[in-house]
A and B are shown apart, each in its own frame.
Chain A
Amino acid sequence: MSEHQSHADDHGQAHYVKIWAVLLVLLILSVLGPIIAPHVEFGFLKAWMITLMTAFGIAVVKAYLVAANFMHLNVEKKYISYLLATMLMLMLLFFAGTAPDVMEHKGQNWENIAAQTEVEQALESQSETKAHGGEHHDAAH
Protein backbone atom coordinates (compact mmCIF):
# COMPACT_ATOMS: atom_id res chain seq x y z
CA MET A 1 0.00 0.00 0.00
CA SER A 2 1.44 3.37 -1.01
CA GLU A 3 1.92 6.22 1.44
CA HIS A 4 -0.77 8.20 -0.37
CA GLN A 5 -3.26 5.36 0.01
CA SER A 6 -2.38 4.96 3.68
CA HIS A 7 -3.11 8.67 4.31
CA ALA A 8 -6.43 8.33 2.45
CA ASP A 9 -7.34 5.32 4.63
CA ASP A 10 -6.53 7.22 7.83
CA HIS A 11 -8.66 10.09 6.57
CA GLY A 12 -11.58 7.69 5.83
CA GLN A 13 -11.38 6.10 9.27
CA ALA A 14 -11.06 9.50 10.98
CA HIS A 15 -14.22 10.65 9.17
CA TYR A 16 -16.20 7.67 10.52
CA VAL A 17 -14.88 8.23 14.05
CA LYS A 18 -15.84 11.91 13.77
CA ILE A 19 -19.41 11.00 12.75
CA TRP A 20 -19.58 8.54 15.66
CA ALA A 21 -18.43 11.28 18.08
CA VAL A 22 -21.13 13.64 16.76
CA LEU A 23 -23.71 10.85 17.23
CA LEU A 24 -22.64 10.43 20.85
CA VAL A 25 -22.93 14.18 21.52
CA LEU A 26 -26.46 14.07 20.03
CA LEU A 27 -27.29 11.07 22.23
CA ILE A 28 -26.22 13.01 25.34
CA LEU A 29 -28.33 16.00 24.24
CA SER A 30 -31.39 13.79 23.71
CA VAL A 31 -31.00 12.34 27.24
CA LEU A 32 -30.48 15.81 28.76
CA GLY A 33 -33.47 17.29 26.86
CA PRO A 34 -36.24 16.20 29.26
CA ILE A 35 -34.04 17.02 32.30
CA ILE A 36 -33.29 20.63 31.33
CA ALA A 37 -36.59 21.33 29.51
CA PRO A 38 -38.56 22.43 32.65
CA HIS A 39 -35.80 24.96 33.51
CA VAL A 40 -35.61 26.63 30.11
CA GLU A 41 -39.27 26.87 29.07
CA PHE A 42 -40.50 30.37 28.32
CA GLY A 43 -43.55 31.94 26.69
CA PHE A 44 -45.28 29.58 24.33
CA LEU A 45 -42.31 27.18 24.37
CA LYS A 46 -43.42 24.60 26.94
CA ALA A 47 -41.23 21.90 28.50
CA TRP A 48 -42.96 19.07 26.58
CA MET A 49 -42.28 20.87 23.29
CA ILE A 50 -38.57 21.11 24.11
CA THR A 51 -38.55 17.41 25.08
CA LEU A 52 -40.23 16.41 21.82
CA MET A 53 -37.85 18.56 19.77
CA THR A 54 -34.73 17.25 21.48
CA ALA A 55 -36.02 13.65 21.37
CA PHE A 56 -37.38 13.34 17.83
CA GLY A 57 -35.50 16.20 16.14
CA ILE A 58 -32.22 14.67 17.29
CA ALA A 59 -33.39 11.17 16.29
CA VAL A 60 -33.99 12.39 12.72
CA VAL A 61 -30.53 14.02 12.59
CA LYS A 62 -28.90 10.86 14.02
CA ALA A 63 -30.70 8.63 11.50
CA TYR A 64 -29.63 10.95 8.67
CA LEU A 65 -25.98 10.87 9.80
CA VAL A 66 -25.98 7.05 9.98
CA ALA A 67 -27.77 6.65 6.61
CA ALA A 68 -25.65 9.21 4.76
CA ASN A 69 -22.24 8.37 6.20
CA PHE A 70 -22.30 4.77 7.46
CA MET A 71 -24.73 3.35 4.85
CA HIS A 72 -23.15 5.65 2.22
CA LEU A 73 -26.54 6.80 0.99
CA ASN A 74 -24.94 10.14 0.05
CA VAL A 75 -22.89 8.43 -2.67
CA GLU A 76 -25.32 5.61 -3.50
CA LYS A 77 -27.40 5.71 -6.69
CA LYS A 78 -30.58 7.82 -6.42
CA TYR A 79 -32.65 4.66 -7.09
CA ILE A 80 -32.07 3.58 -3.47
CA SER A 81 -33.16 6.94 -2.01
CA TYR A 82 -36.34 6.82 -4.12
CA LEU A 83 -36.99 3.25 -2.96
CA LEU A 84 -36.62 4.18 0.71
CA ALA A 85 -38.66 7.38 0.29
CA THR A 86 -41.48 5.35 -1.32
CA MET A 87 -41.57 3.00 1.67
CA LEU A 88 -41.66 5.95 4.06
CA MET A 89 -44.54 7.42 2.07
CA LEU A 90 -46.44 4.10 2.39
CA MET A 91 -45.90 4.31 6.14
CA LEU A 92 -47.25 7.88 6.22
CA LEU A 93 -50.23 6.79 4.11
CA PHE A 94 -50.99 4.05 6.65
CA PHE A 95 -50.66 6.60 9.46
CA ALA A 96 -52.94 9.14 7.78
CA GLY A 97 -55.51 6.50 6.84
CA THR A 98 -55.90 5.04 10.32
CA ALA A 99 -55.23 8.15 12.43
CA PRO A 100 -58.83 9.43 12.64
CA ASP A 101 -60.09 6.06 13.95
CA VAL A 102 -57.32 5.45 16.48
CA MET A 103 -56.34 8.87 17.80
CA GLU A 104 -59.96 9.90 18.41
CA HIS A 105 -62.55 7.86 20.27
CA LYS A 106 -65.58 9.71 19.02
CA GLY A 107 -66.70 11.02 15.62
CA GLN A 108 -69.81 12.49 14.01
CA ASN A 109 -71.52 9.12 13.55
CA TRP A 110 -69.51 6.77 15.70
CA GLU A 111 -68.20 6.22 19.20
CA ASN A 112 -65.54 3.83 20.51
CA ILE A 113 -67.05 3.14 23.93
CA ALA A 114 -64.50 0.44 24.84
CA ALA A 115 -61.55 2.79 24.29
CA GLN A 116 -63.26 5.66 26.11
CA THR A 117 -64.00 3.43 29.10
CA GLU A 118 -60.42 2.13 29.14
CA VAL A 119 -58.98 5.67 29.17
CA GLU A 120 -61.41 6.88 31.84
CA GLN A 121 -60.83 3.90 34.14
CA ALA A 122 -57.05 4.06 33.76
CA LEU A 123 -56.89 7.82 34.45
CA GLU A 124 -59.16 7.38 37.46
CA SER A 125 -56.98 4.57 38.81
CA GLN A 126 -53.85 6.67 38.28
CA SER A 127 -55.30 9.68 40.12
CA GLU A 128 -56.36 7.40 43.00
CA THR A 129 -52.83 6.00 43.18
CA LYS A 130 -51.44 9.54 43.30
CA ALA A 131 -53.88 10.50 46.04
CA HIS A 132 -52.63 7.57 48.11
CA GLY A 133 -49.05 8.74 48.01
CA GLY A 134 -48.05 7.52 44.55
CA GLU A 135 -45.97 4.70 45.95
CA HIS A 136 -48.02 1.81 44.62
CA HIS A 137 -47.79 1.33 40.86
CA ASP A 138 -50.24 -1.18 39.49
CA ALA A 139 -48.86 -2.28 36.14
CA ALA A 140 -52.11 -3.84 35.01
CA HIS A 141 -54.13 -0.59 34.97
Chain B
Amino acid sequence: MSMTKPIATTRSATGIATGKLAVWWVIGSEIVIFGGLLASYVLHRIGHPEWAEYASHTNTWFGAANTFVLLTSSLFAVLAHHAAEHGDGKTAAKWLLGTCGGGLVFLCIKAVEWTGEIQHGYTITANGFWHFYYTAAGLHALHVIAGCIIMLIIANEARKNVELHRVELIGIYWHFVDIVWIFLFPLLYIAK
Protein backbone atom coordinates (compact mmCIF):
# COMPACT_ATOMS: atom_id res chain seq x y z
CA MET B 1 0.00 0.00 0.00
CA SER B 2 1.34 3.42 -0.93
CA MET B 3 2.11 5.72 2.01
CA THR B 4 1.94 8.94 -0.04
CA LYS B 5 -0.81 11.40 0.78
CA PRO B 6 -3.81 11.82 -1.57
CA ILE B 7 -3.39 14.68 -4.05
CA ALA B 8 -6.28 16.57 -2.46
CA THR B 9 -4.33 17.07 0.76
CA THR B 10 -1.22 18.44 -0.90
CA ARG B 11 -2.31 20.49 -3.93
CA SER B 12 -3.41 24.09 -3.46
CA ALA B 13 -5.02 26.12 -6.24
CA THR B 14 -5.57 29.13 -3.97
CA GLY B 15 -2.11 29.18 -2.44
CA ILE B 16 -3.66 28.22 0.91
CA ALA B 17 -2.99 24.77 2.34
CA THR B 18 -5.97 22.47 1.67
CA GLY B 19 -6.61 21.67 5.34
CA LYS B 20 -6.61 25.33 6.32
CA LEU B 21 -8.84 26.23 3.38
CA ALA B 22 -11.30 23.54 4.46
CA VAL B 23 -11.42 24.96 7.98
CA TRP B 24 -12.07 28.46 6.61
CA TRP B 25 -14.95 27.07 4.53
CA VAL B 26 -16.35 25.36 7.63
CA ILE B 27 -16.18 28.72 9.38
CA GLY B 28 -17.84 30.39 6.38
CA SER B 29 -20.78 27.98 6.69
CA GLU B 30 -20.84 28.44 10.48
CA ILE B 31 -21.18 32.20 9.97
CA VAL B 32 -24.42 31.55 8.08
CA ILE B 33 -25.66 29.10 10.75
CA PHE B 34 -24.90 31.28 13.79
CA GLY B 35 -25.48 34.49 11.86
CA GLY B 36 -28.96 33.32 10.84
CA LEU B 37 -29.78 32.32 14.40
CA LEU B 38 -28.54 35.58 15.90
CA ALA B 39 -30.21 37.67 13.18
CA SER B 40 -33.51 35.87 13.97
CA TYR B 41 -33.01 36.66 17.64
CA VAL B 42 -32.40 40.36 16.94
CA LEU B 43 -35.49 40.53 14.69
CA HIS B 44 -37.71 38.97 17.34
CA ARG B 45 -36.17 41.00 20.14
CA ILE B 46 -37.04 44.21 18.30
CA GLY B 47 -40.53 42.94 17.47
CA HIS B 48 -41.25 41.81 21.04
CA PRO B 49 -40.79 44.59 23.63
CA GLU B 50 -41.81 42.18 26.41
CA TRP B 51 -38.54 40.22 25.89
CA ALA B 52 -36.64 43.00 27.68
CA GLU B 53 -38.15 41.82 30.96
CA TYR B 54 -37.33 38.16 30.21
CA ALA B 55 -33.74 39.07 29.33
CA SER B 56 -33.35 40.87 32.67
CA HIS B 57 -33.24 37.43 34.36
CA THR B 58 -29.99 36.31 32.72
CA ASN B 59 -26.95 36.62 34.96
CA THR B 60 -24.36 39.05 33.53
CA TRP B 61 -21.61 37.74 35.82
CA PHE B 62 -21.91 34.17 34.52
CA GLY B 63 -21.72 35.54 30.97
CA ALA B 64 -18.73 37.75 31.80
CA ALA B 65 -16.91 34.89 33.54
CA ASN B 66 -17.42 32.68 30.50
CA THR B 67 -16.20 35.45 28.19
CA PHE B 68 -13.04 35.73 30.29
CA VAL B 69 -12.56 31.94 30.14
CA LEU B 70 -13.00 31.77 26.36
CA LEU B 71 -10.74 34.77 25.68
CA THR B 72 -8.05 33.18 27.84
CA SER B 73 -8.45 29.81 26.13
CA SER B 74 -8.09 31.60 22.78
CA LEU B 75 -4.77 33.00 24.02
CA PHE B 76 -3.68 29.45 24.90
CA ALA B 77 -4.72 28.24 21.40
CA VAL B 78 -2.66 30.91 19.65
CA LEU B 79 0.32 30.15 21.91
CA ALA B 80 -0.05 26.46 20.92
CA HIS B 81 0.04 27.54 17.26
CA HIS B 82 3.12 29.67 17.99
CA ALA B 83 4.89 26.68 19.58
CA ALA B 84 3.85 24.35 16.71
CA GLU B 85 5.22 26.83 14.16
CA HIS B 86 8.58 26.53 15.88
CA GLY B 87 8.43 22.73 15.78
CA ASP B 88 7.88 22.40 19.53
CA GLY B 89 5.11 19.79 19.57
CA LYS B 90 5.29 19.10 23.30
CA THR B 91 4.75 22.74 24.25
CA ALA B 92 1.99 23.02 21.63
CA ALA B 93 0.27 19.97 23.16
CA LYS B 94 0.47 21.55 26.64
CA TRP B 95 -1.13 24.78 25.42
CA LEU B 96 -3.82 22.78 23.62
CA LEU B 97 -4.61 20.93 26.84
CA GLY B 98 -4.87 24.34 28.55
CA THR B 99 -7.28 25.47 25.84
CA CYS B 100 -9.32 22.31 26.32
CA GLY B 101 -9.33 22.98 30.07
CA GLY B 102 -10.79 26.41 29.32
CA GLY B 103 -13.53 24.71 27.32
CA LEU B 104 -14.33 22.44 30.25
CA VAL B 105 -14.46 25.37 32.71
CA PHE B 106 -16.79 27.15 30.26
CA LEU B 107 -19.12 24.14 30.18
CA CYS B 108 -19.09 23.79 33.98
CA ILE B 109 -20.05 27.46 34.40
CA LYS B 110 -22.81 26.96 31.82
CA ALA B 111 -24.09 23.89 33.69
CA VAL B 112 -24.30 25.79 37.00
CA GLU B 113 -25.96 28.77 35.30
CA TRP B 114 -28.55 26.68 33.44
CA THR B 115 -29.37 24.61 36.53
CA GLY B 116 -30.26 27.79 38.45
CA GLU B 117 -32.34 29.16 35.57
CA ILE B 118 -34.26 25.93 35.02
CA GLN B 119 -34.96 25.70 38.76
CA HIS B 120 -36.50 29.19 38.57
CA GLY B 121 -38.81 28.06 35.76
CA TYR B 122 -36.87 29.65 32.89
CA THR B 123 -36.94 26.56 30.69
CA ILE B 124 -36.63 26.28 26.92
CA THR B 125 -40.44 26.17 26.60
CA ALA B 126 -41.11 29.18 28.86
CA ASN B 127 -41.31 31.73 26.02
CA GLY B 128 -39.66 32.89 22.80
CA PHE B 129 -36.73 34.57 24.55
CA TRP B 130 -35.77 31.42 26.41
CA HIS B 131 -36.18 29.34 23.21
CA PHE B 132 -33.49 31.47 21.61
CA TYR B 133 -31.38 31.63 24.76
CA TYR B 134 -31.07 27.85 25.12
CA THR B 135 -30.86 27.19 21.36
CA ALA B 136 -28.10 29.73 20.70
CA ALA B 137 -26.08 29.01 23.85
CA GLY B 138 -26.71 25.26 23.47
CA LEU B 139 -25.53 25.18 19.84
CA HIS B 140 -22.47 27.16 20.90
CA ALA B 141 -21.81 24.73 23.78
CA LEU B 142 -21.99 21.81 21.31
CA HIS B 143 -19.27 23.54 19.28
CA VAL B 144 -17.17 23.90 22.44
CA ILE B 145 -17.56 20.15 23.15
CA ALA B 146 -16.67 19.22 19.54
CA GLY B 147 -13.66 21.56 19.66
CA CYS B 148 -12.42 19.99 22.91
CA ILE B 149 -12.66 16.44 21.50
CA ILE B 150 -10.79 17.37 18.30
CA MET B 151 -8.24 19.32 20.33
CA LEU B 152 -7.45 16.30 22.51
CA ILE B 153 -6.82 14.17 19.38
CA ILE B 154 -4.57 16.85 17.86
CA ALA B 155 -2.73 17.41 21.17
CA ASN B 156 -1.97 13.69 21.30
CA GLU B 157 -0.43 13.88 17.80
CA ALA B 158 1.39 17.16 18.50
CA ARG B 159 2.95 15.62 21.61
CA LYS B 160 4.73 13.20 19.25
CA ASN B 161 5.61 16.03 16.81
CA VAL B 162 3.21 14.58 14.23
CA GLU B 163 1.00 16.71 11.91
CA LEU B 164 1.84 19.95 13.71
CA HIS B 165 0.03 22.07 11.09
CA ARG B 166 -3.25 20.79 12.58
CA VAL B 167 -2.59 22.85 15.72
CA GLU B 168 -3.23 25.99 13.69
CA LEU B 169 -6.39 24.49 12.14
CA ILE B 170 -8.06 23.68 15.46
CA GLY B 171 -6.90 27.09 16.71
CA ILE B 172 -8.75 28.88 13.89
CA TYR B 173 -11.91 26.91 14.72
CA TRP B 174 -11.56 27.69 18.43
CA HIS B 175 -11.10 31.43 17.82
CA PHE B 176 -14.29 31.38 15.75
CA VAL B 177 -16.17 29.72 18.64
CA ASP B 178 -14.76 32.52 20.82
CA ILE B 179 -16.00 35.19 18.37
CA VAL B 180 -19.52 33.69 18.37
CA TRP B 181 -19.56 34.00 22.17
CA ILE B 182 -18.25 37.58 21.93
CA PHE B 183 -21.55 38.39 20.15
CA LEU B 184 -23.77 36.10 22.24
CA PHE B 185 -22.58 37.83 25.42
CA PRO B 186 -23.97 41.32 24.68
CA LEU B 187 -27.06 39.89 22.96
CA LEU B 188 -28.14 37.63 25.83
CA TYR B 189 -26.55 39.23 28.90
CA ILE B 190 -25.84 42.95 28.36
CA ALA B 191 -28.66 44.37 26.21
CA LYS B 192 -31.47 44.14 28.79
Chain A residues with CB under 8 Å of chain B are: 1, 5, 9, 12-13, 16-17, 19-20, 23-24, 27, 30-31, 33-34, 51-52, 54-56, 58-59, 62-63, 66-67, 69-71, 76-77, 79-80, 83-84, 86-88, 90-92, 94-95, 98-99, 102-105, 115, 118-119, 122-123, 126, 137-141
Contacts and interface: CB of A to CB of B under 8 A. Distances in A.
Given A77-B14, A122-B50, A139-B123, A9 B179 contact: no
B74 A13 contact: no
A76 B14 CA distance: 12
Contacts of A138: 121
Nearest to A21: B75
A88 B54 CA distance: 29
Contacts of B176: 71
Contacts, number: 153
Nearest to A61: B182
A33 B190 contact: yes
A91 B60 contact: no
B116 interface: no
Given A71-B175, A87-B35, A139-B126, A55 B186 contact: yes
26 contacts: A5-B86, A12-B82, A20-B71, A20-B72, A24-B71, A27-B64, A27-B68, A52-B191, A59-B182, A63-B179, A66-B71, A66-B182, A67-B175, A71-B176, A76-B16, A87-B28, A87-B29, A87-B32, A90-B35, A91-B39, A99-B43, A102-B40, A102-B44, A119-B50, A139-B54, A139-B123
Contact of A84 (B28, B47, B123, B175): B28
A91 B36 contact: yes
B50 A13 contact: no
A136 B72 CA distance: 38
Q: Which 4 A-B pairs have CB atoms at the shortest separation, nearest pair first?
A: A91-B35, A55-B186, A122-B50, A139-B121
B49 A90 contact: no
Contacts of B122: 139
Contacts of B44: 102
B120 interface: yes
Interface string B165-177: 0000001100110
A63 B182 contact: yes
Contact of B36 (A9, A20, A31, A94): A94
Given A16-B78, A79-B14, A55 B190 contact: yes
Contacts of A88: 31, 35
A83 B39 contact: no
A16 B82 contact: yes
Contact of B190 (A20, A51, A98, A122): A51
Interface in B42-85: 42-44, 46-50, 53-54, 57, 60, 64, 67-68, 71-72, 74-75, 77-79, 82
Nearest to B47: A103
B16 A79 contact: yes
B132 interface: no
B68 A24 contact: yes
B6 interface: no
Given A27-B71, A55-B186, A139-B121, 12 more contacts: A20-B72, A30-B185, A59-B185, A62-B182, A79-B14, A79-B15, A87-B29, A87-B31, A105-B47, A126-B50, A139-B122, A139-B126
